[in-house]
Amino acid sequence: MPGKLQAIPLGGLGEFGMNCMAFRFGDDIIVIDAGLMFPEAELLGVDIVVPDISYLIENRQKVRGIILTHGHEDHIGGLPWILSELKVPVWGTEFTLAYVEDKLDEHGLLDDADLREIRAGESFRVGSFSIHPIRVTHSLVDCVALAIHTPLGIVIHTGDFKVDPTPTDNHLFDLHSFAEYGKQNVLALFQDSTNVERKGYTPSERAVRRKFDEVFAHTRRRLFISCFSSSVHRIKLAVELAQEHERKVTFVGRSMNNSAEIAEDLGYLEIPDGLIINPGEMKNFPPEKVCVMISGTQGEPMSALSRAAVDNHKHAKIEKGDTVVLSSRIIPGNEKTIYRMIDHLFRREAYVIYEDGSSPPVHVSGHASQEELKLVINLVKPRYFIPIHGEYRQLKLHADMAAAMRGSVGKVMLIESGDVLEFDELGARKVARINVGRVCIDSGNRTDVVEDLIIKDRRHLSEDGIVLPIIAINKLTGNVETTPEIVTRGFNPGENGLLEGARRIVEDTLAFSSEEEKADYGVIKEKIRADLKRYISKQTQRRPLIMPVILEI
């Protein structure tokens, strides 16, 4: 069979988040996942980051659709952005699509969207690809890996997974399908690298039950439980235990409510009549009869839990002797914010239970550790192995691990976002690079892209503030009409006459400029900027952003 298959990661390989991978055969392109990335602190004023999809836009006639592996933000969060650029169908499982619908609705994109439900085990065709979704386990429900049948062979994309032997919904990781494929000479395995640094096995979701049990048994007053709102396993567990321990359950926070609603609608959560109360009803029940499921594990400033921690939530009041469980990991970068929130909870004299390495764990990861990764590799026995979903070191460690598995892996290819990996009858190789990158979005506006220049300005402003020399020039005579005004913000000029000196500098610059220069505002602004920069930097060792303004009167 002639032809070439290309795998083109648009995001998530060599960076954390915004997972997005295109596969192309001839004139058919499919896209697996469309995630976002939460911005680093230095991307000031940026709310989310999504992959640059110019490759897809340039080839818009060929893009047949997007297939989602599961409903986490780093796999679906970029959809509104991508769908506003490309009108293509989106395939996903029932639960994943429920999240997608919510998200698209929020952005006013739902009516135009073409969403198609898939089920684990039921193959479907997209262009020249036939795709077989395989059930995997993860920290949320209804997740799939994808076996993509191409004219050149079978490619397996794991999505995110762990091999949980005892998932709370009893929907097992489909070892048998992976084993079956292992006999069929799989061309390539693309596997999640997130936890490749962890030895051994990731504990089952059920390991958390022992800790929750303990907490429910020992809590004498109100019990607050916070987890990622998509952690349906965790919500289910809390609801079950609340019932056993005769506590009413209330959901506080928008995302927690949404998630619980979706989970209940789709049958992942069975909530007996009368168990749920409204947040406003909490006050009518004795503290020992209430369990509050609350959003905000990462200390997000506007989240329900953060507000409750500083006694600024209408219903969720945390009082002396209450217990607060943070059933989640601390996402790197969020430590300070989370610990600040925990400190506030301690100040309210609450007992706070958070991940501290003790056993049984209050949280378990959703990603496969080394032994699980090896298990899947040994089941699939691919000719080519490609690590996905990870920063460079994780991809590299994963590649090294697989390269050592000579019994089951042919060749390992280490690629990053933007690399074009091409397969043909002779083998596989990197053949090109395409433009990829981060698009920074300011969520004030649905698709308001924040340009690099703006971010750079903000960073500059944030470090050293701004100085604006303002002059008025009479447009008829070309005369400077008044003493220059120097305005500063975020910059302390001190009390040593710096502003007066700066004013003199600007006057000097004007005095020593020709009429011609003064008539060319670009030139005169640049001269003022340069002179003032030199002066301020000499006087203060600081380099504020200097922005001359000419007012034409």
Interaction site with its own copies (CB under 8 A): 14, 40-41, 44-45, 197, 199, 332-333, 335-336, 339, 342-343, 345-347, 352, 356, 358, 391-393, 396, 442, 444-445, 448, 450-451, 454, 457-459, 461-466, 468, 470, 472, 481-482, 485, 487, 489-492, 494, 540-542, 545, 547, 549, 551-553
Sign of CA dihedral 83, 84, 85, 87: positive
Report, in Å, the least distance between residue 458 CB and its own copies.
4
CA atoms within 13 A on the CB side of 340: 12
Gap between the Cα atoms of 124 and 134, Å rounded:
12
Report, in Å, the least distance between residue 442 CB and its own copies.
7
Pick 62 or 529: Cβ nearer its own copies: 529
Pick 143 or 440: Cβ nearer its own copies: 440
Pick 43 or 82: Cβ nearer its own copies: 43
Gap between the Cα atoms of 209 and 410, Å rounded:
40
Q: DSSP labels for 389-401?
A: SB-HHHHHHHHHH
Report, in Å, the least distance between residue 474 CB and its own copies.
9
Gap between the Cα atoms of 79 and 77, Å rounded:
6
Report, in Å, the least distance between residue 444 CB and its own copies.
4
Pick 217 or 553: Cβ nearer its own copies: 553
CA 333 → CA 337, 339, 348, distances in Å? 9, 12, 25
Report, in Å, the least distance between residue 99 CB and its own copies.
24
Residue type, 363: H
Report, in Å, the least distance between residue 193 CB and its own copies.
12
Gap between the Cα atoms of 199 and 336, Å rounded:
27
212-214-218 Cα angle (round to 5): 115
Neighbouring residues of 258: CB distance < 8 A, sequence distance ≥ 6: 102, 229
Report, in Å, the least distance between residue 266 CB and its own copies.
33
Q: DSSP labels for 124-182?
A: EEETTEEEEEEEEB-SSSSEEEEEEEETTEEEEE--S-B--SS-TT-----HHHHHHHH
Pick 408 or 540: Cβ nearer its own copies: 540
**Tokens 């693309």 label which residue?**
190
Q: DSSP labels for 45-95?
A: T--EEEE--HHHHHTTTTEEEEE-S---HHHHTTHHHHHTT----EEEEHH
Angle between helices 232-244 and 207-218 in degrees, nearest 10: 40
Q: DSSP labels for 490-542?
A: S----SSSHHHHHHHHHHHHHHTS-HHHHH-HHHHHHHHHHHHHHHHHHHHS-
Pick 240 or 442: Cβ nearer its own copies: 442
Gap between the Cα atoms of 477 and 489, Å rounded:
32
Report, in Å, the least distance between residue 39 CB and its own copies.
11
Pick 68 or 498: Cβ nearer its own copies: 498
Pick 235 or 309: Cβ nearer its own copies: 309
Gap between the Cα atoms of 428 and 413, Å rounded:
8
Report, in Å, the least distance between residue 460 CB and its own copies.
8
Report, in Å, the least distance between residue 510 CB and its own copies.
15
Pick 130 or 539: Cβ nearer its own copies: 539
Which stretches of 198-291 are DSSP H helices?
207-218, 232-244, 254-265
Report, in Å, the least distance between residue 175 CB and its own copies.
28
Report, in Å, the least distance between residue 551 CB and its own copies.
5
Pick 1 or 302: Cβ nearer its own copies: 302
Three-state secondary structure call for residue 343: helix
Pick 153 or 469: Cβ nearer its own copies: 469
Report, in Å, the least distance between residue 294 CB and its own copies.
19
CA 495 → CA 188, 483, 540, distances in Å? 68, 20, 12
Instruction: Write 398-404 long-range contacts (CB < 8 A, 24+).
Output: 398/191, 398/193, 398/196, 398/373, 401/196, 401/370, 401/373, 401/374, 402/377
Pick 168 or 488: Cβ nearer its own copies: 488
Pick 273 or 356: Cβ nearer its own copies: 356
Sign of CA dihedral 266, 270, 274, 278: negative
